[in-house]
């Protein structure tokens, strides 16, 4: 049993679930959170609280007043500040015992490869599919697990992608939805972001069953969850139809 003294007291209530070995695995983990908006806020807060040791959080935007209904990492006083700078400050205050690496940049096909370098997993908290596809492809090429999430209004979806063990993001979302600003209720990002963080913690601690080859769909209007199995596309240029 993990001795509940000093810094370990912080994790006492979850060690009973993940074990001392699981908590140690979280502390060694290096994760990328791609996007510091609504999904990224929930993912980052719960990842930091759980004791994930190294978090690289990536975004290119600054905090705007219209973000504050859902991006719970930020406060009114953060308006005009780079999101990753404000996020890093908040996460370090939440858990000083972990490392936060803020990266102020745009995720593209040209930058994705370097941004996932050295990561144990990637958490997708992005708001556009060109960036998602670029990041997911880079992760797939390096054998890095990719935890997908997306939201629209009171609806959301999540899936876990492990190269060689599940279909890739292109198979799950072969055609991206129309781009542009979408209506979003803040609690929806909390629901989906929490599911993504849960999947990442399960993966790192080797507990539970992951959403491999499956997509969870959340309908907040009716408080319903549906989980569908996904088959890989045999002609997919990324995964070749892994199922």
Q: Domain containing 62 — which CATH number?
A: 3.40.50.720
Residue 235, domain member (yes or no) = no
Q: What pLDDT score was predicted for residue 243?
A: 66
Q: How far is CA 110 from CA 38, 107, 128, 138, in A?
A: 25, 8, 16, 10
- Strands 214-219, 224-229: pairing kind: antiparallel
Residue 65, domain member (yes or no) = yes
Task: Count how many domains the chain has.
Answer: 1
Residue 169, domain member (yes or no) = yes
Do 106 and 115 contact (CB within 8 A), yes or no?
no
Closest by Cα among 71, 24, 32, 72 to 51? 24
Do 169 and 161 contact (CB within 8 A), yes or no?
yes
Residue 48, domain member (yes or no) = yes
What pTM did the predictor assign? 0.94
Residue 243, domain member (yes or no) = no
Q: What pLDDT score was predicted for residue 242?
A: 76
The residue written with tokens 């940049």 in the block is 105
Closest by Cα among 83, 71, 77, 67 to 42? 71
Residue 111, domain member (yes or no) = yes
Digitized pLDDT (tens) for each residue of the chain, 243 residues in all? 333 345 679 999 999 999 999 999 999 999 999 999 999 999 999 999 999 999 999 999 999 999 999 999 999 999 999 999 999 999 999 999 999 999 999 999 999 999 999 999 999 999 999 999 999 999 999 999 999 999 999 999 999 999 999 999 999 999 888 776 788 999 999 999 999 999 999 999 999 999 999 999 999 999 999 999 999 989 898 888 776
Do 191 and 220 contact (CB within 8 A), yes or no?
yes
Domain residue limits at 125:
6-229
Residue 170, domain member (yes or no) = yes
Residue 241, domain member (yes or no) = no
Q: What pLDDT score was predicted for residue 206?
A: 97
């Amino acid at each position: 049993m993990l001795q509940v003294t000093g810094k370990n007291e912080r994790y006492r209530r979850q060690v009973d679930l993940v074990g001392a070995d699981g908590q140690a695995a979280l502390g060694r983990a290096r994760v990328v959170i791609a996007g510091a908006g609504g999904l990224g806020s929930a993912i980052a807060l719960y990842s930091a609280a759980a004791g994930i040791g190294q978090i690289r959080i990536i975004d290119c935007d600054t905090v705007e007043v219209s973000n504050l209904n859902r991006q719970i990492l930020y406060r009114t006083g953060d308006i005009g500040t780079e999101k990753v700078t404000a996020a890093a400050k908040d996460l370090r205050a939440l858990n000083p015992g972990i490392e936060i690496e803020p990266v102020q940049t745009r995720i593209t096909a040209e930058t994705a490869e370097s941004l996932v370098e050295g990561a144990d997993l990637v958490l997708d908290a992005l708001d556009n599919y060109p960036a998602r596809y670029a990041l997911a492809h880079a992760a797939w090429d390096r054998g890095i697990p990719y935890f997908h999430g997306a939201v629209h209004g009171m609806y959301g979806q999540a899936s876990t992608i492990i190269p060689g063990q599940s279909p890739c993001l292109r198979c799950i979302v072969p055609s991206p939805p129309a781009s542009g600003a979408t209506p979003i209720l803040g609690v929806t990002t909390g629901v989906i972001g929490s599911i993504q963080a849960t999947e990442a913690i399960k993966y790192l601690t080797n507990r539970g069953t992951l959403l491999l080859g499956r997509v969870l769909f959340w309908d907040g209007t009716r408080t319903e969850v549906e989980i569908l199995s996904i088959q890989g596309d045999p002609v997919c240029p990324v995964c070749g139809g892994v199922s």
